[in-house]
Chain A
Amino acid sequence: MTPPKIKIESLDFYYNNHQILSNINETIPENAITSIIGPSGAGKSTFLSLFNRLWETTPGARVEGRVLARFHHSFMDINTPKFSVTQLRRAVGMVFQMPNPLPMSIFNNVAFPLKLAGIKEKEAVQNRVTAAIKACGLWPEVKDRLEKKATTLSGGQQQRLCMARALVMEPEILLLDEPTSSLDPRSGAMIEELMVDLKQRCTLIMVSHQPDQVEKIADHIIDFTPGPES
C-alpha cells in the first residue's frame, strides 16, 4: 500500500448531544481510492466532511480527536484553529452526490475556484480551465459552448463539469460523496474511469452505495457497517 496521506486518531463527532461517530482510527493511503461503505445514517457523509471541514457549516456540530493530513511532507492537524479552512478547501476538492453547477456559464463554473483564490491572469485562467475540462473528458462536448449556461448540460456532463471545477485548483485530496448515484450507468462508468486516472495525482476518498463500484475501483475500504456487538 502507498504511504498514508491522512491519519484519523480517536475521533468523535457530535451533532448537538447526539454522537454520530465514535472513536474512529483510520489511515488513508496516498494516490489511491479509499471507499467508505455502510448503511444509510451510519455517518459516511459526515466522515467525508471531516476532510474539508465542511461539517463546520452545520450548526451544532462538534469534533473531538485529530485529523492529520500530510501537505508539504509533514502531518498537520487540520482541525487546529491556525489551519486556514479556506486554504484547506482549496487543497481538498469535493464532488457532491447531485451535480451542483453554479448558475453561471460553463467556463465561469470551472474558473470560479481560481477567481476565489485571486488568480486573475487571463491566460493562466484560460489554460487551467481548459486543462481541467480536458482532464474530465468533457472538452469535445463543451468546447464550442463555454459561455452557455452550465445547467443546460446533461446530468452526467454536469457531474464531470463539477469534477473539472474541483480539479482546477489541482487539489491533493478529492472527496466524492456518491458521485455516480444520480447518473445513468454510462455516465457513471465515465466518472469511475476518471477517478482511476486521477489516482496518479490525488488521493481520492469516495462514499459509495454500489458494491460493484467499490469492488471495481477501490484500493482501500473503510466499512461503517455496525458490528454485531452494537
Chain B
Amino acid sequence: MNRWGEKAVYALSVISCMMLFGSVATLLCYLLIKGLPALNLGLIFGSTPVGDALLLKRQVFDGIFPAMAGTLALILLAITIAVPLGLLAGIYMAEYSGRFTRNVFGFLFDLLSGIPSIVVGLFGFSAILFLHHHVSEALVPSLLVSALSLAFLVLPYIVKTTQMALETVPRQTRVTGLALGATKLQNIVFCLIPESFSTILGGIILAVGRCAEDTAVIMLTGAVASAGLPNSLFKGFEALPFYIYYISSQYADQAELNQGFGACIVLLLICATLFILAAIIQRKVKHTLLYRH
C-alpha cells in the first residue's frame, strides 16, 4: 500500500478509537452528573436504618437495596448454571466432537446467540406457564426461572469463547503435554485450559455483564417492582435493570428519575466489582495451578 494509504488507515483507526472512547466517556459523565446527587444511603436503604437493613432486621421498602441483592443473586445463580454447562460444551466442541457434530452444533450455538433476549424471555414465560397449568400450581415466574432463562441466553457466549480459546492453542503447546505422557483429559485440564484461561474468563465476564443488564428476560420470567430481599428461588424478585426500566417509564418527578440514574451507577459499580473479582480469582487460580509446589 502506498504512503497515503498507510497514513489514512492509521488516522481512521485512531479516529475510531477516539469516537468510541468519547462515547463511553460522555455516557459515564452524563450518568455521573445526573445520578451522583441522588447517590446516597437514602437511595439504597430508603428510610430504614442502614444497620437494621444489613442485618435483615427490617425490610427496605423505599430503597434499591432489595433490587441490588436481587440482581446479585440473579447473576450468581445464572452464572453458576451457565459456566459449568458452557465450559463442558465448549470442551466437547473443541476437543471431542467430530466434524459433522461440530458444524451442526456450531450452527445451533450461533443461532442461539442471535436470538433476541425478549424471545428467550417469552420462551421462559411460556414454559413456566405450561408447568404451572400442567405440573404444579406452585410453579410461577420466579428467581429460578429468570436465572435459567438468563443462563440459556448467555450459554452461547461461554461455549463459543471456550471452544475458540481451546482451538487456537498453538499446536506446539497442544502436543507438549501429550508428548510427556498426558492423557487426553489431563492435557485438557493441565495444559490447554490454563493456557486459554484468560480468554475463557473474557467470555464469562461478557456473560456476567449480560446477566446484569438484561431486562427483557427477567421482566417476563420473575422480576417484580416490589418483593423485598430475595429469600426463595421460587418467588418473584427485584432487580436493578427492571427498577431502572420501571422508574424511567413511570417517574412522577425529576427527583424520582434521578434515582433511576443513581441506580444505573450502582449497577455499573456492581458489574465493575464482579469484573475485578473475576480478575483476582483468575490470578489466584492460575497461581495455584501453575506455580505452587
Q: Mark A81-104, 1 if CB is under 8 A from B, else 0.
A: 000001101100110101010111
Q: In the complex, how many angstroms separate the beta carbon of B125 from the nearest chain A beta carbon?
A: 45
Cβ 8 A contact of A113, one of B174, B180, B194: B180
Chain B interface, DSSP helix/strand/loop, else mixed: helix
Query: Does the CB pair A54–B180 fall under 8 Å?
Result: no
Size of A's binding interface in residues, CB under 8 A? 30
Cβ 8 A contact of A116, one of B173, B180, B289, B293: B180
Query: Does the CB pair A100–B194 fall under 8 Å?
Result: no
Q: How many angstroms from the CA of A185 to the CA of B156 in the assembled complex?
A: 51
Known pairs A54-B178, A96-B172, A102-B176; A108 contacts B183 (CB<8 A): no
Known pairs A90-B181, A116-B181; A108 contacts B175 (CB<8 A): no
Known pairs A100-B172, A115-B190, A116-B186; A108 contacts B181 (CB<8 A): no
A117 within 8 A of B: yes
Q: How many angstroms from the CA of A115 to the CA of B191 in the assembled complex?
A: 12
B290 within 8 A of A: yes
Q: How many angstroms from the CA of A104 to the CA of B52 in the assembled complex?
A: 48
Give chain B's interface residue range (CB within 8 Å of chain A). Answer: 20 to 34
Known pairs A57-B174, A100-B172, A115-B190; A105 contacts B290 (CB<8 A): yes
Query: Does the CB pair A147–B175 fall under 8 Å?
Result: no
Q: Mark B174-205, 1 if CB is under 8 A from A, else 0.
A: 11111111110010001100110000000000
Known pairs A54-B175, A116-B181; A102 contacts B191 (CB<8 A): yes
> Interface residues, chain B, CB within 8 Å of chain A?
172-183, 186, 190-191, 194-195, 289-291, 293
> Interface residues, chain A, CB within 8 Å of chain B?
52, 54, 57, 86-87, 89-90, 93-94, 96, 98, 100, 102-105, 107-108, 111-113, 115-117, 146-147, 149, 165-166, 169
Q: Which 5 A-B pairs have the closest CB atoms?
A: A104-B290, A90-B181, A89-B181, A94-B179, A113-B180
